[in-house]
Chain A
Amino acid sequence: MDLYDWLLFLHVLGAFVAVGALTALWGLILGTRGTAPLFDPPSALRFGRISGILVGVGMVAALVFGIWLAIDLDAYELWNGWILASLVLWAIGGWAGGQAGKAFESDPVANRATGIRFQAINSVAVLVILVLMLWKPGA
């Protein structure tokens, strides 16, 4: 395996960790709705914290190794439109994910709707980044 292979593997692995943990967080949201939730409050808090941390770790790994890939490859530049758009979306998604975590941690019942809205923004941003990474418009 050369450097490119390692960078691509770690970039994609970071994306898998981020989207996988986001999926788990949506599972938590579904599992805590209604009058008979499937999570007791302490378990929900731990589940949310671990998954939230993994979303952050995955997003940072995808960003770092993605930028390294763009620098390493002659075919792409950091100022390509689809890469710039991905960076902006990454920042929006990261901010929204942080806000979702704060909302759920401060009061998971009263702030539930707010937390879900931020979680949705983060998820949509990550989904659009995935679309940009595959279609690479303008590349």
Chain B
Amino acid sequence: MPDVLAAIRPDSVNLPLFLHVLGAMVLVGALFAVGLATMLGRRSPDGAPRLARFSLKALLLGALPAYVVMRVGAQWTEAEQDYPDDFEASWIDIGYIVADIGALLLLISVVLAAIGLRRSRDDASKSVRLARIVAGISVLLLAAFLVAVWAMTAKPT
């Protein structure tokens, strides 16, 4: 029954679902950019401070707004779907758990990124270590969002 209910999609769901999916895709892209730029910084010691600045900016200006769009889209989609009060689906629970843990990790990353960018104004190399921590968290988030994509598409009961 939950599968059947989830498969029925009123037209009013399309726009919020579009925002949810697009936000999630851009979020994944921004986190990937953070991780890749930091990894390349390890291979290019001279360029590492600037790549660290890129990573921290990508998190603040890319991942954070994308997360907000994804999360607002998710809540709006669920509201428009108008499931019955007794509707329970583990794939929605998985989505919320991943989103909430993701929010916490993203918040930690945002604080570290803000500190890193502030420090890098005086000396660009000071942000490298913080960018590496942020990149590590980004890779963790990417793994968690892979689980969320699986749950949203496979809809396990």
- A→B interface (CB under 8 Å): 1, 5-6, 8-9, 12-13, 15-16, 19-24, 27-28, 31, 37-40, 42-43, 46-47, 50-51, 127, 130-131, 134-135
Q: Could you tell me the dominant secondary structure of chain B's interface residues?
A: helix
Q: Could you tell me the dominant secondary structure of chain A's interface residues?
A: helix
Contact of A130 with B29 in the complex, beta carbons under 8 Å: no
Interface size range of chain B in the complex: 35 or more
Q: Which residues from chain A contact B26 at a C-beta distance below 8 Å?
A: 19-20, 23
Q: Which residues from chain B contact A6 at a C-beta distance below 8 Å?
A: 154
25 contacts between A and B (CB under 8 A): A12-B152, A12-B153, A16-B24, A19-B26, A20-B26, A21-B32, A23-B26, A23-B32, A24-B29, A24-B30, A28-B33, A31-B57, A38-B51, A38-B54, A39-B54, A40-B44, A40-B47, A42-B44, A42-B47, A43-B47, A46-B40, A47-B37, A51-B33, A131-B18, A134-B18
Task: Give the docked Cα–Cα distance between A134 and B57 (Å).
Answer: 31
Query: What number of residue pairs across chains A and B have CB atoms under 8 A from each other?
Result: 104
Q: Contacts A19-B26, A40-B47; is A27 near B33 (CB within 8 Å)?
A: yes
